[in-house]
Chain A
Amino acid sequence: MSTGDRQVAHATLRGVTRVYPGVTPVHALGPLDLDLARGEFFSVVGPSGCGKSTLLDVLAGLNPPTAGRVSFEGKPIVGEVPDGIGVVFQEDASLPWLTVRDNVAFGLRRAGTESAEIARRVAYAIGFMGLDDFAGAYPAQLSGGMRQRVCIARTLVLQPRLILLDEPFGALDQQTRLLMGDELLRLWRETGSTVLLITHALDEAALLSDRVGVMSARPGRFIDLVSTGWARDRDSRIASDPSFGAITARLWAALRPESMKAMGRQAL
């Protein structure tokens, strides 16, 4: 299923497949097409093992496609993560030997940014993520949600134009997830970045996104694309909107047979 009906594409996947070689090769992904519009919030849901994280890795340049083309801002992604793409991982990727401040400054220092500029941007990112009181703390002194905020701040401070998030709230409780979702929406609005969010939570996808792509069981392909129609200025309170239930129901209707398939059962 092609998703090429949007305006000017910010990032594009064309005919992308990923097969992991081995004694028994694993066809993890595709072929699939995807166009992400500039400034769009796009979420991907799908059954376990359908290739969601592989899709993110391919788009980030962390994992080369077996076939097909991937491009960002019109340039092909080959071999390395392009400038302008930031990635937040599902696992805790905070650097435990650095303070929150040094974690957030990590990428800027590597990029050779001037120290005054680093200080300014780091202070902003730390404040934006509500970590002011913990700037001198080490990740071990923070909760899981706060560590994930450190990782988001480390990505945010580099001012990426495309932010890829791989189930960043997977390990958090429901209340924290909702609040983190609100913070993510605020970040998206204020930065104007394009966001691709991988999630297994249908309500999270329905609540945060402009569009949601539903993937099939492995090898992952898009089987449905759902436009939510939410206003840009939104937060978790839209969960009380009647259309929220309808969107979630549509996502589940598309996903249920695929999840059954992924579990090795017949759809009822």
Chain B
Amino acid sequence: MTRARGIIWTRVALIVGAVGLIELLCRLGVIKPLTMIAPSQMAFELAHMIASGELTAPAAYTFTEVGTAFAVSVVAGGALGALVHAQPRLRRALDPLLVSWYAVPFFVFYPLLVALFGLNALPLIAIGVIFAAPAMMLSTLAGLDRVPRVMRKVARVHRLSRVQEVRLITLPSAAPHLFTGLKLAFAYSFIGIIAGEFILSGGGLGYGIAYAYESFENRRMYALMLFVLLIATGVNGALHMWDGRLARRRGRT
């Protein structure tokens, strides 16, 4: 067994062991049903919600918000990163702001965002963008900073136009950092939107969890939580695997 495969099996064993232990504690009554239901019941309830179509509307609502926030964050964050990279003076001015960005509790601006965008999905999408775009912007800056100077010379030796240089040299060269930006942008969009729905919205998966919690619908609440967990880890795991393949190709570990 290779070392990497051994690590994967250890990881799987840890997860299966933890889930099995919770299952056992729930079945034995050590953990009361009012506190937590058994993982198998969560999975059963989730399967039931998917089969009945009950999950379709809130999931579509949330995924639309997350998808929109993610797309806007990647485009706007990437463009702003490139702009700031090209303007060293602007960058020096923005540096303190960017460093302290995540210290600000942006949810307090929700009333302002409602006033600006109305009582619809846009304020939550805006919160998702506020969370995710700076991560993409910082990753873009890091990626562009690390494009070796010699690559610019390679572009000139091959007489590439500015557009060709960006497409064929700069972007591929900065790709590892841009990919990190994509991963962070997804994670922050997802966190921002779910958390926003939980406390501020009237729809979506986050709202569904909050509603089930307040109505003491434990089975429903845990099924939705499991669904959110599966989506978040599934997407992140897929991006991580893709990143790993690219990293191995480039000799990064």
Binding site for B on A (CB under 8 A): 60-62, 80-81, 83, 85-87, 89, 91-93, 95-97, 106-107, 110, 138-141
Contact = CB atoms under 8 A, between A and B. Distances in A.
Chain B interface, >50% SS class? helix
Contacts of A139: 251
B89 interface: no
B251 A96 contact: yes
B251 A141 contact: yes
Given A95-B172, A97-B175, A80 B251 contact: no
Interface string B227-253: 000000000000000000000011110
Given A97-B249, A97-B250, A138-B251, A62 B158 contact: no
11 contacts: A62-B156, A86-B157, A89-B150, A91-B148, A93-B153, A95-B169, A95-B173, A96-B249, A97-B175, A110-B158, A110-B168
B167 to A, nearest CB: 11
Contacts of B173: 95, 97
B92 interface: no
B251 A81 contact: no
B250 A80 contact: no
A60 B159 CA distance: 12
Contact of B172 (A60, A91, A97): A97
A106 B156 CA distance: 13
B86 interface: no
Interface of B: 148, 150-151, 153-154, 156-160, 164, 168-169, 172-173, 175, 249-252
Which residue of B164, B168, B252 has the most chain A CB atoms within 10 A of its CB atom? Answer: B168
Contacts of A60: 157
Of all A-B residue pairs in the complex, the 7 with the closest CB atoms, nearest first, are: A140-B251, A91-B150, A97-B172, A96-B250, A93-B150, A87-B157, A107-B158
Nearest to B169: A95
Given A96-B249, A140-B250, 4 more contacts: A93-B150, A97-B172, A110-B164, A140-B251
Contacts of A87: 153, 157
Which residue of B151, B158, B159, B168 has the most chain A CB atoms within 10 A of its CB atom? Answer: B158
Nearest to B149: A91
B251 A89 contact: no
